[in-house]
Structure 1
């Protein structure tokens, strides 16, 4: 088994989108406006990068079967409504997915950077909102046949209040030879319980939120199975999508769909960091089978609905432990795998949060999302507002507003009532520049310097048009390949795409293939 390697991490956030002045306007249209306006404002003009589906296998299951709909990769018109796609200069993908603007962060090799580049998505979305407003103020539409887009509101949340949930997915590279059943059973208790630390908080119980109350997690009531390939229905605690986006002989990609979208830096750092350490321990052979739950799916909502954190989960061996007690076992067993300074910082934060939650959950309201939101809710309850008052749902929504001028989360930050881990300047920098130690460096730099030459792309390759007659596919298969160390000097010196291709051929840094055009 491949152990001791970098734990590459990425996140995918589907943002909520609305147009208050025209609430019936299709989110497919507004999401397309958002991505296209951002693309044009960044200098791409009418050039849009087509998403290359050649290496996409979203219906292949790690358990050995494939529900693929196509035997041939589909070619989708990049100018179709709801298809807008752009790669950002920081190596991220910004596109329309299921009627939401989605930000897929660049690949990074540690939890701290994962937190920073996830926050960079909020910055990019705010730039897009500003771009839309700028075009609209000139009475200019970026979409042919459509009027200018009205003012947009963007929310980093997971529910629409009408029964639908959208994702904040996490991705972690793991060693392919790790037995998936062992991996899944070790992770299920952890995923059920970690929500008491990384939950975003939600007003309303049940998928439609029609039962009065407050709960810890936005995603909990939408989890219906232990293990499932689905992401939009019959969602599982463990998702079995087998789409590694890298060398499939050596690596798998753990696609986590049970988490919430977080505003808090600490919640995000803990989400990525705790999970990465647990994966380190599993790959090192640490046994977590004694924590197997008797009724894992039911426990997801039970834990989420218990604001006192006193609920006892039933284990297969008959013991009953609280979510904090289960997490305490995980923390003790993974501690020795925290070898870097940031990982040790993560352990200290994990300990701090666990101790505060055990004393009084609301004592973490300066650190965690769900308790920060609950503290706001409680403050309005003391003024006579009941939990089933529609204004409470508005408070919930306003917390996740990414606009610093209107967001309740940002208001807490500005008042010194919410801890942050990095500055807005650092986040803005991450929104503009790629990480240096993953293949995202090459992707981001190519879009920044030679974006007009990029015809199509996916995570594993770029298709570029040089002066040759046929396009060329540049492989970006290895997550730790084409980093700044490997390719930085070449990209600095190159002034044309031809020079990039020639330099790659000389260096033997990756494979190149000519593609026949029809």
Structure 2
């Protein structure tokens, strides 16, 4: 049964994509201290972490039962790419499922190494010597939109979004780096120093904020994938919701031609670095041609536009409910107001960089040290430790000092269960059935393939489709040949 790729049904109506497919890719930093006080090199640690995955699946690059992709990325970074999601909270649950899975791999290594060994998984974006690793956002857009034009309209928002959704860090300059002139201090963003231009097809050599490489992972005649690589990894759940939700609303407004800020910054790379050192958003940004605007003014304009957009936004079928968008815009407005007034008490349990700065200031005052002290660097890093009960983030959550957006139960469900209303449901069902039978299969974001006895290939070009009779046929084919597959893995 080979397939031409025709979709069975389409759940998304024509018009504005107010229901949108989204995904997040998270790269993790890892470290290990041994019982004798030594350190294991990351490459060796990564191999140990992925050994049970390789033993079970003969690969370090797999799709899980939740239809997410788990793999070992360049630089010995475990990476979790969520399944296709249709709502913000659904995406949050599946992103947090990655924390659970990767920490589980680390926990097994810790047990193997014995008492005294500690394996750490950090959801941050920069290591101690200045290397950066990413948190990438993916948004489905219609093919008819010019990705470059769309990207240019988004860039000023993304450059200033760090003020409302940055992870925060203590910055120490590295000799010869473009940001050496700033000196030691606090940054609202971890990725700001590691992007070099607004929109391009590069990924690592000259990181842009938006990557334009045309890989839609969907019907290429109908869809594009907007690949945003400028954002920080989020620890606080409300920060994640605001990061994704604000981008969704701005993207909707651009597509709909809704009145909103129309600016072009004179120097994107300089702007994002300068804003990172200004936790009040007062940085003056020169515009192309004439005029200037501050970072805070821009975010205020975007937030005001989103408030107006919610009043006229067309109804969507599924996806993020209106009341959740209202909750996001409320947090957005409160954060902008805090930047304006300097009173961050209204958001200091919800926004990562605000939470972290408050924590660091408390320790700095208690210890009587400056930001360059090693103890503060340790606290900065410990905030991103994903281990429940050990990392500072989870400690603060348990003390009621960081607000929740979802629940542990919903996250645990997402570890094993794909989203029910996207193509991921088909991939997850196919994989579970194949693994129960021991059937040799190959999958990627778009294709399901049974390799024996005769190759059977199915292409799923519509990521909105969660029900397709062709998948039932493929599963029936595996059932009919179950005796050929031997013992399930």
Q: TM-score, normalised by structure 2?
A: 0.84
Divergent runs of 4+, >4 A: 134-138, 205-210, 485-491, 493-496
SS at match of 1:308: coil
Using the alignment, how far apart are the partners of 1:133 and 1:424 within structure 2?
23
Using the alignment, how far apart are the partners of 1:402 and 1:269 within structure 2?
18
Aligned residue number for residue 462 of structure 1: 448
Aligned residue number for residue 332 of structure 1: 304
Match status 1:128 vs 2:105: yes
Aligned residue number for residue 74 of structure 1: none
Residue 248 of structure 1: CA displacement?
A: 1.0
Offset from partner CA, 1:177-215 (integer Å, 9 cap, x none): 112332122111101100011100011144679741110
Match status 1:379 vs 2:362: yes
Change (3 A) 1:490 1:455: closer
Cα RMSD for the two superposed structures:
2.7
Q: What are the equivalent positions in structure 2 for 1:171-320 lying under 5 Å apart? A: 171-206=138-173, 211-286=183-258, 290-316=262-288, 318-320=290-292
Change (3 A) 1:86 1:132: farther
Contact kept? 2:442, 2:451, Cα under 8 Å: no
Residue 278 of structure 1: CA displacement?
A: 1.1
Contact kept? 2:29, 2:77, Cα under 8 Å: yes
Using the alignment, how far apart are the partners of 1:178 and 1:464 within structure 2?
35
Aligned residue number for residue 27 of structure 1: 42
Aligned residue number for residue 373 of structure 2: 389
Contact kept? 1:186, 1:288, Cα under 8 Å: no
Using the alignment, how far apart are the partners of 1:487 and 1:415 within structure 2?
49
Change (3 A) 1:454 1:263: farther
Change (3 A) 1:180 1:361: farther
Using the alignment, how far apart are the partners of 1:447 and 1:348 within structure 2?
40
Contact kept? 1:442, 1:487, Cα under 8 Å: no
Using the alignment, how far apart are the partners of 1:309 and 1:283 within structure 2?
27
Change (3 A) 1:276 1:360: same
For structure 1, the residue ranges without an aligned partner over 5 or more in a row are 49-77, 79-83, 139-148, 502-518
Contact kept? 1:490, 1:500, Cα under 8 Å: no
Change (3 A) 1:2 1:241: farther
Q: What are the equivalent positions in structure 2 for 1:49-68 lying under 5 Å apart? A: none
Aligned residue number for residue 415 of structure 2: 431
Residue 454 of structure 1: CA displacement?
A: 4.4
Contact kept? 2:168, 2:356, Cα under 8 Å: yes
Contact kept? 1:291, 1:326, Cα under 8 Å: no
SS at match of 2:96: helix
Residue 113 of structure 1: CA displacement?
A: 1.5
Aligned residue number for residue 331 of structure 2: 349
Match status 1:95 vs 2:77: no
Contact kept? 1:108, 1:435, Cα under 8 Å: yes
Q: Could you say which structure has the greater relative contact order, defined with CA pairs below 8 angstroms and 6 or more residues apart?
A: 2
Contact kept? 1:437, 1:480, Cα under 8 Å: yes
Using the alignment, how far apart are the partners of 1:300 and 1:308 within structure 2?
14
Match status 1:10 vs 2:29: no
Contact kept? 2:447, 2:459, Cα under 8 Å: yes
SS at match of 1:247: coil
Aligned residue number for residue 385 of structure 2: 401
Range with bigger deviation, 332-341 or 89-98: 332-341
For structure 2, the residue ranges without an aligned partner over 5 or more in a row are 1-13, 316-321, 483-489
Using the alignment, how far apart are the partners of 2:103 and 2:341 within structure 1?
37
Offset from partner CA, 1:10-55 (integer Å, 9 cap, x none): 0000100111227653423322322332x37xxxx5333xxxxxxx
Offset from partner CA, 1:132-175 (integer Å, 9 cap, x none): 3445559xxxxxxxxxx964210000001212100111100111
Question: How many pairs align?
Answer: 447
Which residue of 432, 435, 459 corresponds with 1:475? 459
Aligned residue number for residue 84 of structure 2: 107
Using the alignment, how far apart are the partners of 1:454 and 1:436 within structure 2?
25
Change (3 A) 1:402 1:170: same
Using the alignment, how far apart are the partners of 1:475 and 1:181 within structure 2?
28
Residue 473 of structure 1: CA displacement?
A: 2.1
Contact kept? 1:114, 1:272, Cα under 8 Å: no
Change (3 A) 1:461 1:313: same
Using the alignment, how far apart are the partners of 1:2 and 1:122 within structure 2?
36
Residue 5 of structure 1: CA displacement?
A: 5.1
Aligned residue number for residue 51 of structure 2: 36
Contact kept? 2:72, 2:79, Cα under 8 Å: yes
Match status 1:367 vs 2:350: yes
